[in-house]
Chain A
Amino acid sequence: MFQRLKNFYHKLGSYPWFYKISGKVIPFLGFFSITLIIISSIWGLFFSPTDAVQGDVYRIIYFHVPAVSVSQMIYYSMSVAAAVFLIWRMKMAGVYIKSLAPIGAAFTFIGLMSGAIWGQPTWGTWWVWDARLTSTLVLFLFYLAIIGMQSTFASRKSADTAVSIITLVGVVNLPIVKKSVDWWNTLHQPASISISGESSISNEMLVPLLFSILGVYLFVLFTGLLSMRAEISSREQNKEWFKKLLSKN
């Protein structure tokens, strides 16, 4: 069992293996994720019941919640990859961080925008500086810093290392920002706006939401694998295994 895990770990770090497996998996992922997203969007937008309190505006939840959830998950996974890169020097981890950062940034942005669109008709304001929103904005800034840092260093290994440092700094700092703004906020003004409120959500609303979340996660996997393949191609373009692969096709 342990030996199988070790084998898997070594395979995970191998570019050719990854390229082969991802090539097979990507078409399915793409098909399923886009289908799920379309189904859940149509279902959520048109066929789920109207909310008693918020009316039809709440439907943006089907875009907002998956986007925010995935934006944080991507960052946590990037921080795991950063630790793996710094400790075990696994090059695939560096590829992972570089490829997923723009995807994470995009979904954070979608989350922020959709949240603002939801907030305006519901609570009368596009934005509020509470702990959750502020820390999401900071998350967005960290994504941008990671993307921006890629081009600063001459050697790719240095760039990957610097980016890993920044990712880990962010993963520590984000909860701190959230706590400190929360503390600051609750002492100054009552926390009037909270975005979670679907614990008492009805099943008819919940099911399309779950589909949507699943669809978005699969979509991130889909685009993430595509992005990683592109990054590996650009890093390994002069290597033997890659040239052989190209000539086979």
Chain B
Amino acid sequence: MIYFIKILKKEFLIYSRKSSSFISPVVFFLISISLYPIGISNDPDILKNLAPGLIWITVLLSTLISFQNIFSEDYEDGSIELLLASGQNLSMIVLIKIFVNWIFSCLPIIVLSIFSIFLLYLPQEGLKPLIISLLIGTPTICLFGALAGALSLGKNSITGPALMLPLSLPVLILGTQAINYSLNGINFASNILLLTAILIFLLPIILFASVGALKLHFN
């Protein structure tokens, strides 16, 4: 247990020293959100209908980018080798890495998405379902990102998106629908429950698959 706390502290330290780990997702998010009014239309009525989907898509893409390289540095400098040699439980370690990456790349964007009230004219009532759905949906997307990152180690740039995005489609649909339901007065609790169920169900499976994928590179 102390061992895993040590690894948690280590990962936090590494991420916090690299300012790009939380600046890049934020910058990407802000730039993308700005593209939509410019590229689509700056009419509030149009944007507020699109806002739930646009925010979710941007969060998805941003997570995809930041998870591409989750294991690449550790692979290059030999840390993963040492982890394998240590005989420790890799699932916990991968979980810790996903968690820390989530804190630095997803959490800032979730906070920023609150500003979509102004930027994309999202109605205020949509804020609660937005935050809740993002808080529960993004960890699942991070799981898929970690699997894609473990398979590609940041090298082959097609596998990450091609694998992660189709997997994330159900989460995307449930998330945007939750916000749209709420804006139309329909109860969105079932969506949140489904999202939570998906996360709990997939957590062990995808962790196991990610660890297997990492070990593949050592044959």
Contact = CB atoms under 8 A, between A and B. Distances in A.
B166 A165 contact: no
Given A181-B173, A184-B177, A151 B156 contact: yes
Interface stretch (A8-16, A77-85, A89-97, A136-144): A136-144
A36 B215 CA distance: 47
Interface stretch (A120-128, A154-162, A206-214, A224-232): A154-162
B82 to A, nearest CB: 20
A201 to B, nearest CB: 32
Contact of B163 (A134, A157, A169, A187): A169
Contact of A142 (B155, B162, B217): B162
Contacts of B213: 162, 165
Interface residues of A, number: 28
A176 interface: yes
A169 B166 CA distance: 10
B158 A166 contact: no
Given A180-B173, A181-B173, A158 B159 contact: no
Which size bracket describes the interface of B in this complex? 20 to 34
B209 to A, nearest CB: 6
Interface of B: 147, 151-153, 155-156, 158-159, 162-163, 165-167, 169-170, 173-174, 177, 209, 212-213, 216-217, 219
Given A142-B163, A176-B170, 7 more contacts: A141-B162, A145-B163, A148-B158, A152-B153, A153-B216, A177-B170, A187-B177
15 contacts: A141-B162, A145-B162, A149-B151, A152-B155, A153-B216, A158-B216, A158-B217, A165-B213, A166-B151, A166-B163, A169-B163, A173-B166, A177-B169, A177-B170, A183-B173
